Structure 1
Amino acid sequence: MQHSSTQDTFVGLFVAAGIAALFFLALQVSNLSSFTDQDSYTLVARFENSGALKVKSPVSAAGVKIGQVSDISLDPKTYQSVVKMSIYSQYNHIPSDTTASVFTAGLLGEQYVSLEPGGSEDFLKDNEVLEITQSAIILEKAIGQFLFKSAEEKK
């Protein structure tokens, strides 16, 4: 079987396109594709447990991505998880009584912060702290409590 340079060129282009597609997919999955620096402001939330929340995890309100987690640290005095979120500046009308919760996307998906707006007419400003938070639900802990409770009921 004879190979022509045209066939070799098409095979090379096909392989290069496949590698580019895999690279693009890896960027999408790892959430590294957001290289653009949008104007944003910072909100802070304190959680008893932030679960498997990571830096660059999405922050959403009503299912719309409005920002991402920029930093997670441990407060050495209260032992709470301090989560800093970069909120895109176009979403600067978030009520001051907004609730922040850590949820999981799907059964085994990544964790994200969901903001539930309140009814206040005052809006959150840069570096303000969300007062009302709900920590991540740890699946192992919930299963353990269920098993312990059902074992007590059988006695």
Structure 2
Amino acid sequence: MKRVTLELIVGVFVMIGILCLAYLSIKLGKMELFGGNYYTITADFDSVSGLKAGASVEIAGVEVGRVDRIVLEQQTDQARVFLQIRDGIKLQSDVIAAVRTKGIIGDKFIKLKPGGSSTILAANGKIQDTESSVDLEELLSKYIHGSVD
């Protein structure tokens, strides 16, 4: 009888340990199991070189969302970036989205610069003003070949 009780107690502790490990893995991996509270907006860029799905979206250095996916817009030959922004974060209709590099390693992220408009960008809205990433190879090539103005 004591052996069954001991095995039951050990089993319960093992299950609690597994659940705690799963919870920590999800939180540290920044995964969302049930979708989270986000709304989606889009932005079109001439170049998003190096930007990947899952990259952070920041305002003033604070993460407010993630890049959901990136697709090629056939009509304009631009990259359309789908951004998931946390509920509660209100963006003005004249917000500016820019592709920036984080740190020495060169991870890309989207930096949002708030505008001054009183109109709020609705869910499934589109950011009109964007700044593409700087392509250092192209810039150096222009400098070397003398076509920099």
- TM interval, short-chain normalised: 0.7 to 0.9
Letter in 2 for 1:103: R
Q: Where in structure 1 are there 5+ consecutive unaligned residues?
A: 1-19
Q: What does residue 77 of structure 2 align with? A: 79
Structure 1 moving runs of 4+ over 3 Å: none
Q: What does residue 34 of structure 1 align with? A: 30
How many equivalent pairs are there? 123
1:34-53 matches, within 5 Å, as 34-36=30-32, 37-53=35-51
Q: What does residue 17 of structure 1 align with? A: none
Give the Cα separation in 2 of the matches to 1:141 and 1:65. Answer: 30
CA RMSD of aligned residues (A): 2.2
Give the Cα separation in 2 of the matches to 1:132 and 1:149. Answer: 30
Q: Where in structure 2 are there 5+ consecutive unaligned residues?
A: 1-20
Give the Cα separation in 2 of the matches to 1:146 and 1:61. Answer: 32
1:137 maps onto 2:137 in alignment: no
TM-score by length of 1: 0.73
Give the Cα separation in 2 of the matches to 1:149 and 1:99. Answer: 32
Give the Cα separation in 2 of the matches to 1:148 and 1:61. Answer: 37
Q: Structure 1 vs Structure 2: percent identity of aligned residues?
A: 30
TM-score by length of 2: 0.76
Per the TM alignment, residue 149 of structure 1 is displaced from its structure 2 partner at its CA by 2.2
Give the Cα separation in 1 of the matches to 2:105 and 2:30. Answer: 23
Give the Cα separation in 2 of the matches to 1:70 and 1:120. Answer: 26
Give the 3-state SS of the residue equivalent to 1:90 in structure 2.
Answer: coil
Give the Cα separation in 2 of the matches to 1:132 and 1:101. Answer: 9
**Greater mean deviation of Cα atoms: 105-114 or 54-63:** 105-114
| Greater percentage in helix | 1
